[in-house]
Amino acid sequence: MKGYLSHDFPVEVPAAVIWDVYRGLQLGKLLNQLLRDVIGMVEVVYGDGGVGTILKFTFPPGTPGPSYMKEVFTKIDDEQRLKEGEIFEGGLKDVGFKVYRQNLQIIEKDAQSSIIRSRVEYEIDDELQELASLATTKPMETLNEAVGKYLEQNWDSSNNKSTVEYEIDDKLQELASLATTKPMETLNEADCQSLEVSAKPVWNAAFFGIVWTLWLGRNECTFNKKQCNADLLFDLAVCRIGFWCKSRWSDSLFSLSDFIRNPQLCRVITGISSRHLGWVKPVLGTLKFNAVVSGRGGYGVAGSGEVPAAVIWDVYRGLQLGKLFNQLLRDVIATVEVVYGDGGVGTILKFTFPPGTPGPSYMNEVFTRIDDEQRLKEGEIFEGGLKDVEFKVYRQSLQIIEKDAQSSIIRSTVEYEIDDELQELASLATTQPMETLNEAVGKYLKQNWDSSNNQ
């Protein structure tokens, strides 16, 4: 059984202002600020607010059903102002729902008002259809009402009133009709409306962006014999300034495409929610500890694997590798379970370790990159495993490197970051599990792949 629910909530705030809040992580911060006792607490488990970000919602004590739920962002569409997420653990997933998706869309009514549309899509087995009544948009309605009221109180449309004062000689008074507020009205109605805005930071960034672009262009002409192209330099400068502004003032209410089309109309927020990433001088003796551990392990990994790279990549790219893990290495990893996804970027796997394994009993990994051209797959542990023993970052990658038409190398890499005072734990970082996996899968593929099929 499949179904959906939808609800519209009107807000007297421009769509661009609301979308800037709803698009990333600021919505979760407002939820913690405004609705902690009603909806609960939101925690960022993984990500920076883009697609693949994972949030954990912990419900208030006494809430019926599961005590938490985890959601992954699956789609963010700036053009449609649409954000989608799917519950993959806890919540209604734990009471029998096969699929439970939530999305929020900001729809512009006019220059000063919008509609926040909440939608829930779900799928449940027919024999459990009586549980379908649990599906609801009510939490999102409560959120939209609270955030809408907050934004209406903190955003004053009167900031957008435009005034022009002028003085002209009497003999030229026929020219007075040229005085107009139209350019400011156009600015106020643009998508780059903001709460407290200023163009000065953009112009400051423009100076450095133009100089840097000219410098790089001069180097290309001098050292690489490139032809100078003024139009290309202009476009590069505009793109560079736009990237810098969006990075430095990420709360600003314009997209990169807005900036490229009309940079003169764009302003940045300087008074309310702009963020400044400052540098603080570390104490004497502080050392930033970043490390990469690389290893080549497994059957054929060091050069004796007589299986083509394309065959190995076909196994390693998606979910087939996890199935082989369950088949070949249950004594090393008890089970590999697909928590969410179809094997692409954003897929989440849960590894459960055999009883008696030291340390945490499981770890959760999210696929962060799949590059078919380089045959490279990267994942980051965001829960359990070495993350629970104080590693700040723990990433794993596997790359299939072609030696010749009939043999390959499987390269395993671990990247980690840990606080300096815990650097003795760095010895726990290892490629050994991946080496064991590569050896077992390499042997399996060699036995089951007949090179004569390709001759």
Q: From the CB of residue 448, how many other CB atoms can be counted at a distance below 10 Å? A: 9
Q: From the CB of residue 8, how many other CB atoms can be counted at a distance below 10 Å? A: 14
Q: Looking up tokens 């599906």, which residue turns up?
A: 135
Contact 392, 384 (CB under 8 A): no
Catalytic residue among 83, 350, 387, 446: 83
Please confirm, yes or no, whether 443 is among the known catalytic residues.
Answer: no
Contacts 24+ apart (CB under 8 A), 388-392: 388/359, 388/360, 389/359, 389/360, 389/425, 389/428, 390/418, 390/419, 390/422, 390/425, 391/416, 391/417, 391/418, 391/425, 391/428, 391/429, 392/417, 392/418, 392/419
Return the sign of the alpha-carbon dihedral for residues 297, 302, 305, 308: positive
Residues annotated as catalytic (active site), given as ranges: 83
